[in-house]
Structure 1
Amino acid sequence: MPVAVLCRDFGVWLDSERKLEVASQFDTAARAYEASATVIPIREYIEAPSIRALCGDVHGKLALDLGCGTGLYTRRLAQWGAKQVIGADIAEGMLTQARVIEAADPLGITYLNRDLTEPCRCDAEYAHLSGQIDLVLAVYVLCYATTVENLEAMCRSAKQDLKPGGVFLAPTLNSGYADESEHPGYYADYYAAYGFGMSAVTPPAQEGATVTLSMWFPDGSGVDPVALDAVWWSQDTYERALRTAGFTSITWHRMEVSPEGVQAFPAPYWDRYLARPHALVVEAR
């Protein structure tokens, strides 16, 4: 297996016209992305505990966080006990913040800026880990593939990074999310109570369509609202891409509210979201 494999990050899916555009939107969203982990209740009380549970026992394992952003889950993988953790991303603004955090509180994480459209420049120190990764995590990465071919390439990259029997976990956009076009108006927005909204640029959402996710934050948080453009793919398309990449076992998971979330926001607060969650987790082996 070529040593270039480990260096493959989610930059593989970027076509030449959109590479800078998409990287830029994440650069500018770095602060908001980090803040949303504790300010947006779904991220704190549904997403984080669900991903933690699905990762299982990572003690002594090698983990790769594809599309790591500011390193939120890269750090968590290290804190959960992974032996070695690598984060890879194409957005330098995100990586800059990740490295600042690592310098202030070292966890032994290595962050790589990689783009598969260019020759790999992987450090020899990490090249030998290619094909030896126990767990590849890609949080909200697959939903930024702009073509089926690019989606397949992303899945193939994860498969090649993994050791035999390794696990690929990828939270991604739920094709059955509640679009704003179904619930027009700011206060009527389906997800407004949870601090975000989602809408297809040209409804209805369909294969390859652009979907905008907008997040806003409480007054006094000091964080400006942010909007990111993702791509809608059906579950069938995700599964075909994963199978094309060589995965043979594919399972979809719904994320659940933690006991802390139920205590912080008693029923029926979560009911609306759980009926039409904006994201699901696909597990592939």
Structure 2
Amino acid sequence: MAHSTYETPVYAATAAMPVRSHIEMHTLMGLLGDVTGKSILDVACGYGYYSRALAQRHAARVLGIDLSESLVGVARELEERERLGIEYRVLDVFDAPVLGAFDVVLAAWLLPYATTVAELEAMAQRLRAQLAPGGMLAGIVPSDTPDLQRNYTQYGMTVTAPDPPGDAAEYDITFHVEPPFAIRSRIWTLPTLERALVAGGFRDVRWVPAQCSPEGLAEFGREYWEPMLTRPNLVFFTARTK
């Protein structure tokens, strides 16, 4: 089983997993609300899954950055097929210059790649530098209390981590797509993440549990989603600039 840090374009195959559309996309877009006319920086944009959704929701400017040339290549190919006006650049969050004063910075699954608290704080500072005063940071991180006994195989993925996980605990998530692949990152406890965000210049940090779309509930039933809604493997957050 190959491990990846989202380098493989195979990751784009996860877009077809119901958990991504009915949990991830639904909850995150609910947090962002109406993005009409807003400027948005999608950090660790991958193949543009969220970038495209934001452009389709009439954001005025969407810029996606990622350190993976292969995934940015996939994102650009999708933009060529259906032009939404999204710009993509190959950039690492630590090396990126100030790209604008954005209304929103999206950091889905970015923070888990910090290996130390100092890196977490540096990430937060870099994200803060891209935001206009009063701007919003929103993102997704692994839950620090995942249900490792029941796990998440019914959603097409398996999570491996210490039980219970602590700060900087290695976290593997295997996606059962074709071909299957795994991603390794780290779990940080929510108090540690919140302290890092505040140290990086944010306020009003809010943690939000996973929610399921009405369409997902209607199609699969509440019992199917119960593990994800009661002991999810992911947590959403928002924060504001000071």
Shorter-chain TM-score range: over 0.9
Q: Please state whether the residue corresponding to 2:13 is helix, strand or coil.
A: helix
Q: Please state whether the residue corresponding to 2:173 is helix, strand or coil.
A: strand
Alignment coverage as a number of residue pairs: 239
Aligned to 2:14: 36
Give the letter aligned to residue 156 of structure 1.
Q
Q: In the alignment, is the contact (CA less than 8 A) between 1:65 and 1:137 conserved in 2?
A: yes
Aligned to 1:79: 56
Give, in angstroms, the shift of residue 35 of structure 1.
1.7
Aligned to 2:180: 225
Q: In the alignment, is the contact (CA less than 8 A) between 2:94 and 2:126 conserved in 1?
A: no
Q: In the alignment, is the contact (CA less than 8 A) between 2:145 and 2:164 conserved in 1?
A: no
**1:55-111 deviation line (CA, Å, top 9, x unaligned):** 111111100000000011111111111001100100111111011111111111111
Q: Percent of aligned pairs with the same residue?
A: 36
Flag the structure with higher strand content: 2
Aligned to 2:110: 141
Q: In the alignment, is the contact (CA less than 8 A) between 1:26 and 1:93 conserved in 2?
A: no
Aligned to 1:253: 208
Give the letter aligned to residue 56 of structure 1.
G
Q: In the alignment, is the contact (CA less than 8 A) between 2:5 and 2:183 conserved in 1?
A: yes
Q: Give, in whole Å, the separation in 2 of the partners of 1:44 and 1:63.
A: 20
User: Does residue 244 in structure 1 map to residue 222 in structure 2?
Assistant: no
1:89 pairs with 59, 66, 75, which one? Answer: 66
- Structure 1 residues not aligned, in runs of 5+: 1-21, 184-188, 218-222
Aligned to 1:100: 77
Give, in angstroms, the shift of residue 141 of structure 1.
1.0
Q: Give, in whole Å, the separation in 2 of the partners of 1:248 and 1:280.
A: 18
**1:232-275 deviation line (CA, Å, top 9, x unaligned):** 10001100100001112111111211110011101311112211
Aligned to 1:51: 28
Q: Please state whether the residue corresponding to 1:77 is helix, strand or coil.
A: helix
1:162–1:117 CA distance, 2 compared to 1 (3 A): closer
Aligned to 1:214: 174
Aligned to 2:6: 26
Q: Over the residues paired in the alignment, what is the CA RMSD in angstroms?
A: 1.8
Tell which structure's C-alpha radius of gyration is larger. 1
Give the ranges of 4+ consecutive aligned residues of structure 1 lying more than 3 Å apart after TM superposition.
Answer: none
Aligned to 2:134: 165
- Structure 2 residues not aligned, in runs of 5+: none
Give the letter aligned to residue 234 of structure 2.
A
